[in-house]
Amino acid sequence: MKKYIRQKTKKKEGIRLLDIDDLYIIYRISVGDINHKEIATSLLLTPPAISYRLTKHKKVFGKIYKNKRNGQTSRLNKNGLIIAKKCETALRILLDDEQ
């Protein structure tokens, strides 16, 4: 029981460990077919920096990306899509976007 509570608490705190770039990366991957190079270009980062961020996401949330990759395009699994919705909400709040 204690292990379950720790895991649940860790996932809730996980989104707090991400910066705005991480939120944007997860959101953009959830939107559709976009490769790492396009995301990197939009954030003024390098593709290896995006790969580093994806590894960071895996450490924070566990497995949120599907194993299958087409080149450098990532896909989110069911848990990843739930996290992406939270990222979208956080980005709206941070950017003070009208809903």
- 10 is written with which tokens? 């860790």
Whether 57 maps to a domain, the answer reads yes
CATH number (domain holding residue 86): 1.10.10.10
Find the mean pLDDT for residues 68-96.
82
Q: Which DSSP category does 76 fall into?
A: B
Range of the domain at 44: 2-94
The phi-psi region of residue 96 (left if phi > 0; otherwise alpha if psi is between -120 and 50; otherwise beta) is left
pLDDT band for 11, please (50, 70, 90 cuts): low
Put simply, whether the predicted model's pTM sits higher than 0.85 gets the answer: no
Q: How far apart are CA 35 and CA 89, in angstroms?
A: 22
pLDDT band for 67, please (50, 70, 90 cuts): low
- Assess whether pLDDT exceeds 80 at residue 7: no
**Count of structural domains within the chain:** 1
Whether 83 maps to a domain, the answer reads yes
Find the mean pLDDT for residues 9-25.
77
- Assess whether pLDDT exceeds 80 at residue 25: yes
Whether 99 maps to a domain, the answer reads no
